């Protein structure tokens, strides 16, 4: 009674390409990653080796993108064939019993005959139901049969809606994330000996690779065609004025002024003869040299005292005057059109200079070289400090439950935002992928996956049908004629 046709794999031939893409070679999906021990993080080399090994174990992908494992498929095909034989054997057995007991309506054989007849009906009905999922029974185009090949698009959309309605909901996402306690688990993982260093090493390796792969031509293009034109178009006078005003208010410039005073004092001490020579060269010719030398030394001494007074007195007149000058400049940059126009012209002259791009590239090259050199040193201070910071952060997270809760809530918010913004695109992958599948081949693959379990429907239908048949026969005997 079983009229199912062998799959293309059973015939030993290659699967035909999907009719939607007849000329393009199929792309095999990568094998899923193997399970890892708790607390382990595979390196890039280990991951590549594992990926290649998984692909070798699983074999090539099918034309629809299915992962095809010949050994697993062969086992499933044997199990499906075995269960089909069991279900069909029960049907044949019921038919034989029915034929042998036909005409014996009374006594025990009457019950057996009625049960066998009902078993055949149940077996045939369930065979039709199971077969109609994947193909037309007996090859007849009966309506509402071959459901999977004909309505795979509707099935894909239903799966998409099911996932969206039952998995992409904010309350479910928040519950799952909070139950997982990602912050606590990450902190515990980082405190396992060697894990913090491994994390830092992986991040450093990825960062170094990324910096090496950034072409200088692309960086120059970004600077010349995006950064500099944008800076040229954007007015900076108000921004510079506001920044300068805040710097003065916070007294952030005091350290720079102190540094300049210290450097000036050092220069005067180290270049006393040069300073006095500059003074005497500008003295009148009729003044005696002795007087010039005396005046020059006096000016040098007074200059050192003057710098020391400024350096030691936070409210010195020079400091106050400088602060007033900076405050006035900050105000003019924000509110005076003349000052703003001068600042913009200065900015345009600076940005239009051809050396600006070259200088920016030199700074980028130097910064990249310094960062790469620091990250490549496995025993260097950068990696060592990073390991200490990761460990300290993990210890703090384990000790501070409130901080963990705040971070977990932020993770929830980020996850919910990502799902709300991109969830539709994620679930649409289901329907789009199903739409690209070939209907017949999809039915064959699905049957190979679940067909063995569906044969139990046929077996149960045969057995339950027989029991119901005997029950109906008993009721018919008990009821008066």
Q: pLDDT for 318-328, tens place per residue?
A: 999 999 999 99
Q: Is the pLDDT of residue 157 over 90?
A: no
| Stretch among 81-90, 152-161, 459-468 having the lowest mean pLDDT | 152-161
Query: How wide is the angle at C-alpha 171 spanned by C-alphas 166 and 175, nearest 5°?
Result: 105
Q: Which is higher by pLDDT, 7 or 441?
A: 441
What does the pLDDT average to over 283-289? 81
pLDDT tens digit string along 88-130? 999 999 999 999 998 887 788 999 999 999 999 999 999 999 9
As given in the structure block, the two tokens for residue 292 are: 């010039």
Beta bridge partners of 67: 61
pLDDT tens digit string along 133-156? 888 898 888 888 888 888 878 888
Within 10 angstroms of residue 136's Cβ, the number of other Cβ atoms is 16
The pLDDT of residue 152: 79
How many Å apart are CA 294 and CA 163, to the nearest integer? 94
* Predicted confidence band of residue 329 (pLDDT cuts 50, 70, 90): very high
CA 160 to chain centre: 21
* Predicted confidence band of residue 45 (pLDDT cuts 50, 70, 90): very low
Q: Which is higher by pLDDT, 187 or 35?
A: 187
Q: Which is higher by pLDDT, 61 or 230?
A: 230
C-beta pairs of 236-243 under 8 Å, 24+ apart in sequence: 236/343, 236/344, 236/347, 237/333, 237/334, 237/339, 237/340, 237/343, 237/344, 238/333, 238/334, 238/340, 240/333, 240/343, 241/329, 241/330, 241/331, 241/332, 241/333, 241/334, 241/335, 242/330, 242/334
How many Å apart are CA 292 and CA 283, to the nearest integer? 7
Q: Is the pLDDT of residue 300 over 80?
A: yes
Contacts of 77 (CB under 8 A, 6+ apart): 7, 9, 10, 448
Q: Is the pLDDT of residue 363 over 90?
A: yes
What does the pLDDT average to over 173-185? 91
What does the pLDDT average to over 313-340? 92
The pLDDT of residue 68: 66
The pLDDT of residue 44: 41
Q: Which is higher by pLDDT, 1 or 186?
A: 186
Domain ranges in the chain?
Answer: 57-145+438-478, 214-352
How many Å apart are CA 272 and CA 159, to the nearest integer? 87
The pLDDT of residue 323: 92
Q: Is the pLDDT of residue 302 over 50?
A: yes
Q: Could you tell me if 34 and 50 are in contact, meaning their C-beta atoms sit under 8 angstroms apart?
A: yes
What does the pLDDT average to over 334-355? 89
* Predicted confidence band of residue 304 (pLDDT cuts 50, 70, 90): very high
How many Å apart are CA 224 and CA 217, to the nearest integer? 10
| Stretch among 66-75, 174-183, 194-203, 207-216 having the lowest mean pLDDT | 66-75
The whole-chain average pLDDT of the chain stands at: 83
The pLDDT of residue 408: 93
The pLDDT of residue 67: 60
pLDDT tens digit string along 215-271? 999 999 999 889 888 888 888 888 899 999 999 999 888 999 999 999 999 999 999
The pLDDT of residue 30: 38
The pLDDT of residue 65: 53
**Shortest CA distance to 387 belongs to which of 187, 199, 183, 207?**
199
C-beta pairs of 40-46 under 8 Å, 24+ apart in sequence: 41/195, 41/198, 41/199, 41/202, 43/202, 44/205
Q: Give the global pTM.
A: 0.53
How many Å apart are CA 119 and CA 125, to the nearest integer? 10
What does the pLDDT average to over 372-377? 93
């Amino acid at each position: 009674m079983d009229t199912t046709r062998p799959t293309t794999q059973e015939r030993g031939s290659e699967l035909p390409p999907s009719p939607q893409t007849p000329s393009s070679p199929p792309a095999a999906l990568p094998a899923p990653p193997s399970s890892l021990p708790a607390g382990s993080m595979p390196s890039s080399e280990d991951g590549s080796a594992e990926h290649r090994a998984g692909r070798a174990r699983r074999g090539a992908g099918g034309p629809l993108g299915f992962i095809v494992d010949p050994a697993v498929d062969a086992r499933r095909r044997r199990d499906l064939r075995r269960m089909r034989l069991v279900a069909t054997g029960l049907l044949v057995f019921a038919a034989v019993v029915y034929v042998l007991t036909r005409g014996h309506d009374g006594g025990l054989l009457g019950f057996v005959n009625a049960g066998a007849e009902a078993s055949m009906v149940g077996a045939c009905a369930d065979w039709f139901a199971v077969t109609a999922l994947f193909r037309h029974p007996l090859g007849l185009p009966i309506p509402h049969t071959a459901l999977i090949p004909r309505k795979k698009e509707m099935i894909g959309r239903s799966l998409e809606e099911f996932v969206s309605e039952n998995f992409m909901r904010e309350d479910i996402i928040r519950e799952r994330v909070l139950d997982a306690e990602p912050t606590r688990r990450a902190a515990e993982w980082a405190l396992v000996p060697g894990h913090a260093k491994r994390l830092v090493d992986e991040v450093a390796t990825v960062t170094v690779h990324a910096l090496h792969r950034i072409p200088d031509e692309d960086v120059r293009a970004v600077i010349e065609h995006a950064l500099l034109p944008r800076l040229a178009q954007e007015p900076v006078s108000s921004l510079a004025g506001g920044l300068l005003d805040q710097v003065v208010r916070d007294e952030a410039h005091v350290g720079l002024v102190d540094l300049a005073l210290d450097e000036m004092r050092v220069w005067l001490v180290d270049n006393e003869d040069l300073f006095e020579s500059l003074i005497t060269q500008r003295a009148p010719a009729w003044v005696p040299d002795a007087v010039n030398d005396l005046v020059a030394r006096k000016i040098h001494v007074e200059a050192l005292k003057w710098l020391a007074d400024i350096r030691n007195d936070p409210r010195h007149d020079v400091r106050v005057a400088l602060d007033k000058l900076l405050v006035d400049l900050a105000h003019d940059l924000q509110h005076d059109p003349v000052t703003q126009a001068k600042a913009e012209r200065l900015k345009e002259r600076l940005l239009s200079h051809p050396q600006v791009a070259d200088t920016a590239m030199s700074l980028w090259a130097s910064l990249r070289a310094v960062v790469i050199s620091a990250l490549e040193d496995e025993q260097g201070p950068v990696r060592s400090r990073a390991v200490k910071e990761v460990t300290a952060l993990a210890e703090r997270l384990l000790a501070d439950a409130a901080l963990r809760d705040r971070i977990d809530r932020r993770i929830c918010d980020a996850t919910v935002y990502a799902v709300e913004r991109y969830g539709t695109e994620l679930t649409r992958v289901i329907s789009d992928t199903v739409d690209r599948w070939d209907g017949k081949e999809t039915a064959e693959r699905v049957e190979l996956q679940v067909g063995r379990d569906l044969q139990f429907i046929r077996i149960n239908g045969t057995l339950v049908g027989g029991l119901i048949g005997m029950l109906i026969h008993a009721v018919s005997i008990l009821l008066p004629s």
